[in-house]
Structure 1
Amino acid sequence: MRPVHQRRTTCRGCSAAALSIFLELGPTPLANSLSSSGDEIAPTYPLDVALCSACGLVQLIDVIDAEVLFRDYVYVSGTSDTMQAHFATYANDVADLLSLGPKDLVIEAASNDGTLLRGLARRAIRVLGVEPARNVAALAESNGIPTLAEFFDESRGREIRRAHGPARAFIANNVLAHVDDPVDFLAGARELLTPDGRVFLEFPYLGSLVERLEWDTIYHEHLSYFSATSVAALLRRAGLSALDVLVTSVHGGSIRVTAGLDGEPSRRWSELLKNEAERGLGSLEVLTRFAGRVKENAEALFELVSSCRRRGMRLAAYGAPAKSTTLTSYARIDAHAIEFAVDKAPWKVGRFIPGARIPIRSVETLALERPDLALLFAWNFADEILRQQSAYRAAGGRFVVPIPVPKELP
C-alpha cells in the first residue's frame, strides 16, 4: 500500500538535491476534499514551496498520492461560462493552426468533462480524452467524447499510439503542474506525435502568481509552478522543443506553450525567456520577497474579516474553489467568520470547505440571505460573477476580492 504523503528531497524536474524552501503555508487540508459534515476534522499536510537552484523549477516538496487527489474529482470545466468560451476559442486556434481535418487525431490529457474536445469534435476532428477521475470521465463519455479513465505518462502514450495511431496534436491544460514526474508525462506526449505534430501546454504562469500575489493557487494538487524557463528545461529533457507561447488571462494569468519534435522558437518565446531573466523570476531573492508579501496579505485579510465581525456585519463567500482551502487555512478564516459560501457546482452544495468548515450552498442563497459582504474566493471569475449577481448587488450586497490587497469591488 502506497503512503498517502511523501516528502521530496530532490527536484522533480532535474533530480538535483538543490531545493530551498522559501514559503511555508503550514498544515493544510487537501483542497478539493470537501467535507461531508461540519463536524468533520479534515486531515492536514505540510504545504511548503521550494526553488530548485539547479533548474529553476518552483515546486511543492510534499506529495500526496495521486489516487487520493484525482480519482474522484470535483472540478468540472463546463461549470464556468468563462471557461466554456475560453476552450471554444482554444479548440478553434488549434484546429486552424494545424489545418486539422477528419483524419487527424487530437488527444487531451486530463480532458475533464470534454469541454475543449467537444469544440474539435464539432469540426469532425477525431478526439480522445484521457481523464483519471472516473466520475468526470463518465460525464465526458455521456457528452459523446471518447475518454480513457486513466492517468497519463510515457507508457500510456505508447499504448494509445498502438491502439489509435499517432496524434497531430496533444493538449494538456492545467495538468502538467499536477504530476510528480513532469518529464515522464511530456515523454508520453512525444511518443504520440506525428513528425509535424504539436504539443499545447496551458498552465498558470509563475510570473502572474508572483506579481499578482496569487498565493491561494498554491495547494497540494499543484506540485509545480512554471516559468517559461523551467518548462523549456523540462521539454528538452523529454526530447521536445519549445516553439511558441501565448499569454492568456485565464485563471489569473496563464501561458500556453506550443512545442514539437523540432523547430525554431518564435520571437515571442525568446522575448519571454529574456524578460524572465531580466526580472530574476526564478531567483531565491525575488521569491523570498514574494513570501513576505503573502504573509502581509494573509494578516490583512484576517484583520478585515475580524473587523467586520466586530462591527456586527454578516459575511459570506462566493465560490468554493480549490484555492479557498489555502486561503482560509493560512489566513485563519473559518465558519465563525464566514456564514456560508455559494457555488454553481451542484455536487459541492451541501458540503463544507475542508478545515474552515464553511457550509456550501446554492448561488441563489446569496440574494436570499443578503449578507453585508461576500468574499470573492473565485476571484478569477470576478467579471462573470458580478454580472450574474446583479440582484444581490442591487439589494446592497458588496463583493471583496482577497488578493493582492483586500478591497471592495465597485
Structure 2
Amino acid sequence: MTRCRLCGSAALESVVDLGATPPCESFLAADQLDLPEPAYPLHLRVCTECWLAQIPPLITPEETFKEYAYFSSYSTSWVEHARTFVTDAVRRLALGADSFVVEVASNDGYLLRHVVDRGIRCLGIEPSVNVGAAARDAGVPTVTEFLGPDTGAAVRAEHGPADLVVANNVYAHIPDVIGFTQGLRALVADDGWVSIEVQHLLTLIEENQYDTIYHEHFQYYTVASAIRALASGGLTLVDVELLPTHGGSIRLWARPAEAAAEPTRQVADVLDREKAAGLQELSGYTEFSARVAKVRRDLLRFLVEAAERGERVVGYGAPGKGNTLLNHCGVRPDLLPYTVDRNPYKHGRFTPGTRIPILPPERIAADRPDYVLVLPWNLRDELVEQLSFVHEWGGRLVFPIPELSVVEVTS
C-alpha cells in the first residue's frame, strides 16, 4: 500500500502487523485440505493526513461475497438489534406506507423483514448469491448487486429515491469507499437519510479488538475519518450514536449535504473523545501492537497449560474474527480439537489456515469439555446464557478479548 484510499496521501504509518492469513470466511471443505491455501499480509496502517486506518486491498469483494458463509439471522441478538433499529427509525423518520427503505448488504433479510412486517416498501441490495436467495425466500425483495454510483442510480431510476438507506456493517468492507459513498447518495432522496453502522476504531484500539482486523475489512473508522469519507460522496454527518455491537460501534446518521442541519452535540462529544485518545496523532496507536502481542501470549499459555493438565478445550463459534485470532496465535487442532457453530453451512468444513473442524453445537454437550473458548466474544451476554448448560459438568467459558478471562457459568 502506497497511497491512502480516501485522501490519496502517501503518509501511511504502521499500527499492527498480523503476518499473513487466508481470507477469514474461506472455510475449507474436506476435499480441499490437501490443496494449497493462499494467505495474504494483514497489516493495518493509518493515514496521518485524514486518519483513516486501512489495510491493502489484496482481495476483492467479488472474491469474498459472491458466495458467503455468514448469515445474520443465526445471531438472536443481532436480529433483535435490527428489530429495535427498525422500530426506532420508523418513529424517528415518520416512515409509513408511502415510504421506501433500501438496505445495502442486506444479507439474508434479517433487518428488512421487520420493515416488510410493517407494510413499508423496501429493497435489499446484496452481492452474495446464496444469502440473497435466502432473503427472497423469506419474503424480502432483494437484488444481487454490488453498490456503486451506477447501481445506485439504476435502483433509484427503477424504484424511486429512498427515504432511508441503511448500510450496517458494510462501510468497512468496500475498498472503493468513495464510489460506494457516491452509490449511497445516488440511492437516497434529496431530503432523505442514510444510516450506517460500523465498528468504532476507538474501541478497537482501547479494547484490543484486533481480531476484527481481517481482509474483508478494508478500513476502520473514527467519527473524524467517517465525516471525510461521507463528504467524498456528497453526504454530511448530522448525528452519531455509540452502540455496544461488535464490541463497540458507531451509528452514523447522514443526509445529502444540501439538506443537512448542523451536527448534534453528540457528534462533537465523540470527536472530543477520539482526540483525547490520541487518534488524530500517532501517539494513540503506538502501544497497540504490544497489547496485541500480550493477547496472543496469554491465550497460547492458557491452551498449552490446559493441554498439559489433560484438560480439554473446544471452541464455540466460527466467526471471521475468530479466524484472525486463531491464525495469529498459531492455534491448531492439537490445542483446539474443534469448534462448533449454529450455521449448518459451516458444518463439516474447516477453519481457514488453522484447519480446525467445525461441528454442530450439540457436540459440546455430548463431549462435556473442561473449557469452551468463545470466539464471537462480542456476543458475550447472549452466549453466556446459551452456554449455561456447561455448568452441569463443571465446564467454564473462556473469552480471549479484551484480555483472557475464564468465566464460571450458572444454570
Interval containing the TM-score (normalised by the shorter chain): over 0.9
Residue 196 (structure 1) shift: 1.8
Residue 322 (structure 1) shift: 0.4
Residue 152 (structure 1) shift: 0.5
CA contact (8 A) 1:47 1:62 kept: no
Counterpart for residue 278 of structure 1 = 276
Counterpart for residue 3 of structure 1 = none
CA contact (8 A) 1:35 1:42 kept: no
User: What residue ranges of structure 1 are gaps of 5+ in the alignment?
Assistant: 1-7
Task: Describe how 1:272-351 pairs up with structure 2 within 5 A.
Answer: 272-351=270-349
Counterpart for residue 7 of structure 2 = 14
Give the letter aligned to residue 394 of structure 1: E
Counterpart for residue 4 of structure 1 = none
CA contact (8 A) 2:105 2:168 kept: yes
Residue 340 (structure 1) shift: 0.7
Provide the aligned length of Structure 1 versus Structure 2.
Answer: 403
> Percent identity at matched positions?
40
Q: After superposition, give the CA deviation of every residue in 1:384-407 in whole Å (9 maximum; x if it has no partner).
A: 122122222221111110012111
Secondary structure of 2:9 counterpart: coil
Secondary structure of 1:313 counterpart: coil
Q: TM-score by structure 1 length?
A: 0.96
Q: After superposition, give the CA deviation of every residue in 1:121-163 in whole Å (9 maximum; x if it has no partner).
A: 1111110000000000000000111111110011111111111
Task: Describe how 1:32-51 pairs up with structure 2 within 5 A.
Answer: 32-37=25-30, 38-51=33-46
Give the letter aligned to residue 136 of structure 1: V
Secondary structure of 2:343 counterpart: coil
Q: Does 1:81 align with 2:79?
A: no
Counterpart for residue 160 of structure 2 = 165
CA contact (8 A) 1:374 1:397 kept: yes
User: What residue ranges of structure 2 are gaps of 5+ in the alignment?
Assistant: none
Secondary structure of 1:352 counterpart: coil
Task: Describe how 1:172-251 pairs up with structure 2 within 5 A.
Answer: 172-251=167-246
Q: Does 1:109 align with 2:104?
A: yes
Counterpart for residue 57 of structure 1 = 52
Residue 62 (structure 1) shift: 4.0
Aligned equivalents of 2:255, 2:290: Cα separation in 1: 39
CA contact (8 A) 1:324 1:353 kept: no
Give the letter aligned to residue 110 of structure 1: A
Counterpart for residue 397 of structure 1 = 395
Give the letter aligned to residue 112 of structure 1: N
Aligned equivalents of 1:78, 1:203: Cα separation in 2: 18
Larger mean CA deviation between 249-258 and 283-292 belongs to 283-292
Aligned equivalents of 2:377, 2:117: Cα separation in 1: 31
Aligned equivalents of 1:41, 1:390: Cα separation in 2: 39
Aligned equivalents of 1:208, 1:22: Cα separation in 2: 15
Q: Does 1:409 align with 2:407?
A: yes
Counterpart for residue 5 of structure 1 = none
CA contact (8 A) 2:21 2:42 kept: yes
Give the letter aligned to residue 357 of structure 2: P
Aligned equivalents of 1:385, 1:32: Cα separation in 2: 21
Q: Does 1:376 align with 2:374?
A: yes
Q: After superposition, give the CA deviation of every residue in 1:299-339 in whole Å (9 maximum; x if it has no partner).
A: 11111111111111111011010011110111111111101
Q: TM-score by structure 2 length?
A: 0.96
2:94 to 82, 86, 99: 99
Aligned equivalents of 1:203, 1:231: Cα separation in 2: 10
Secondary structure of 1:263 counterpart: coil
Q: After superposition, give the CA deviation of every residue in 1:89-131 in whole Å (9 maximum; x if it has no partner).
A: 0111111111011111111100001111111111111100000
Secondary structure of 1:111 counterpart: coil
Residue 40 (structure 1) shift: 5.0
Residue 195 (structure 1) shift: 2.4
Give the letter aligned to residue 26 of structure 1: G
Q: After superposition, give the CA deviation of every residue in 1:42-67 in whole Å (9 maximum; x if it has no partner).
A: 32110000000110000112420211
For the aligned residues, what is the CA RMSD?
1.2
Secondary structure of 1:185 counterpart: helix
Counterpart for residue 64 of structure 2 = 69
